[in-house]
A and B are shown apart, each in its own frame.
Chain A
Amino acid sequence: MASTDTTRPAKEGGDLAGLEAGLDALETVQQGRTPFRQTLVEKILPPAVAVLLVLAVWQGLVSFEIVDDPTKLPAPSDVWHVVHQAWLQGELLGYIWTSVSRGLSGFLLALLIGTPLGLLVSRVKFVRAAIGPILSGLQSLPSVAWVPPAVIWLGLNNSMMYAVILLGAVPSIANGLVSGVDQVSPLFFRAGRTLGATGLKGTWHIVLPAALPGYVAGLKQGWAFSWRSLMAAEIIASFPDLGVGLGQLLENGRNASDMAMVFEAILLILIVGIAIDLLIFSPLERWVLRSRGLLVRS
């Protein structure tokens, strides 16, 4: 760049580059990674302590015979035994896989429907006025309410379960995208338009990426709704030919008055729900927020 400086008087001179480099260095904030020890103490230890406390209280209730009826409250060791047996017999992963594969494929289908729907509602005024309120209203309808009509329309089969998942998850995903788009600063749309991003190009390059934080929050909630709807459907439609998922396991436990099996099913449903969130959605959300500088280190 020095060659261009010759036409200029010395007062602007070459020190502008140096001045700028100095300012840049002064104003750039250095960020390091949180040390593992700190993560351990602040993030991992507290929930572990809470879980241990619950287990201790539970064991205490049984050991001190405060609740001495195992058909009401089985000991943690009994539940562990049931889980262990299911593992040894090779059934445990089968239960989990049956439900998870249904849940995830239902969720993916909901994603394929909810995304264009959300985009349409957020971008087209008429569509928004027409179905926007219905879509948000549907979110507050417990998806278990869809199980009876779905059974009547589709029968006791997998399609009925997918239908219930879709009715639960599609509104969440679409609404997430709508609120994501609504929260985008108008400045980005203006900037996009001056760069020539209009129409479909604008949607692809500006609207969708800008709305990503809200969209991911919608996906997270959509998964929670999918999982709940599926469990409701599995409990009600527990038909042996459909394969035994976690919902059916719970229902089977109830029919056999086997409280340990009921607890096993509840725990597995909880753990799978948490695991999917921790393994897929939370990292996705953190990545989106961190890459935009929206995640404040605490």
Chain B
Amino acid sequence: MATTTTLAKADEGTATATHAARIEHVSKSYPGPTGQQLVLDDISLDVAPGEFVTLLGASGCGKSTLLNLVAGLDRPSAGAITTDGRPALMFQEHALFPWLTAGKNIELALKLRGVPKSERRDKAEELLELVRLKGAHGKRVHELSGGMRQRVAMARALAQESKLLLMDEPFAALDAITRDVLHDELTRIWRETRLSVLFVTHNVREAVRLAERVVLLSSRPGRVAREWTVGIPQPRRIEDAQVAELSVEITEELRGEIRRHGQH
């Protein structure tokens, strides 16, 4: 269980920080063909330490844009975002570097964080064990299956020892069986590491399956439409009756949001 001890360090800061991420009145616009195009409009959202929040929305709601802003890859046009340290980010594509082996990908993250060379190999092995890929250290990225790649990507993100993990539809490109398994894995790892997670998806059931809180964004521009607290105890299953019930309710709301766009 060495993995939990190394990763538990993330907890030390949470005693003082009251938010893993704080998004305050954030707007973002891009220059478009008809002047400035407003993508995000006055979004306010807090992620508490150790909380799992999903951002849910149809296309055009700017959920990926918001995630990029939180990751610091882009700047908001208005408002402020504060995070407790630099967040880690996982993409829909695994974004592993194909010129490195699975293990070396993780070691690069450790190196860039300043972990001494002598410790990197062991830490990488620990992280691979955490995502149940023991023995995959020397594997090339193209030798791994889609699910394995996302697990290595998860291990690489965890190597940053950030307090906040941002996930941009990380399982959208996987087949249903693999996705289910990775949901279980993510829940397990989230509970073991007590990370805060901000997870973007357009899949309602996935949002309900994973999150403690589901935030629905409206589209064009993206605004916080509604929030749900998911009280169903973890671990859940995507086919659980309670998950299905809440999903139906959220889907209705989401469809209502989408319908508004067809009316004018």
Q: Are B185 and A293 in contact (CB under 8 A)?
A: no
- Given the complex, which residues of B lie within 8 Å of A206, measured CB to CB? 97
Q: Are B181 and A191 in contact (CB under 8 A)?
A: no
Closest Cβ of chain A to B37, distance in Å, is 21
A195 within 8 A of B: yes
Closest Cβ of chain B to A9, distance in Å, is 7
A194 within 8 A of B: yes
Given known A-B contacts A24-B145, A205-B108, A291-B99, A3 and B160 have beta carbons under 8 A apart: no
Closest Cβ of chain B to A295, distance in Å, is 10
Q: Are A8 and B235 in contact (CB under 8 A)?
A: yes
Residue on B nearest A25 in the bound complex, by CB: B145
Q: Are B97 and A209 in contact (CB under 8 A)?
A: yes
A169 within 8 A of B: no
B76 within 8 A of A: no
User: How many angstroms from the CA of A31 to the CA of B140 in the assembled complex?
Assistant: 13
User: How many angstroms from the CA of A201 to the CA of B108 in the assembled complex?
Assistant: 11
A43 within 8 A of B: no
Q: Which of A3, A187, A196, A212 contacts B112 (CB 8 A)?
A: A196
A297 within 8 A of B: no
B147 within 8 A of A: yes
Q: Are A190 and B109 in contact (CB under 8 A)?
A: no
Closest Cβ of chain B to A60, distance in Å, is 49
Q: Are A16 and B148 in contact (CB under 8 A)?
A: no
Given known A-B contacts A187-B91, A196-B86, A20 and B144 have beta carbons under 8 A apart: no
Q: Which of B4, B91, B108, B181 contacts A19 (CB 8 A)?
A: B181
User: How many angstroms from the CA of A194 to the CA of B100 in the assembled complex?
Assistant: 17
Q: Are A195 and B235 in contact (CB under 8 A)?
A: no
A-B contacts, 14 listed (Cβ < 8 Å): A16-B184, A23-B178, A188-B97, A191-B89, A191-B95, A194-B71, A194-B89, A196-B113, A201-B112, A205-B112, A206-B97, A209-B100, A210-B97, A212-B99
Q: Give me the interface of B with A, judged by CB distance under 8 Å.
A: 1, 4, 71-73, 86-89, 91, 93, 95, 97-100, 108-109, 112-113, 129, 132-133, 140-148, 156, 160, 177-178, 181, 184-185, 187-188, 192, 235, 237
Q: Give me the interface of A with B, judged by CB distance under 8 Å.
A: 1, 3-4, 8-9, 11-12, 16-17, 19-21, 23-24, 27-29, 31, 187-188, 190-191, 193-197, 201, 205-206, 209-210, 212, 291-294
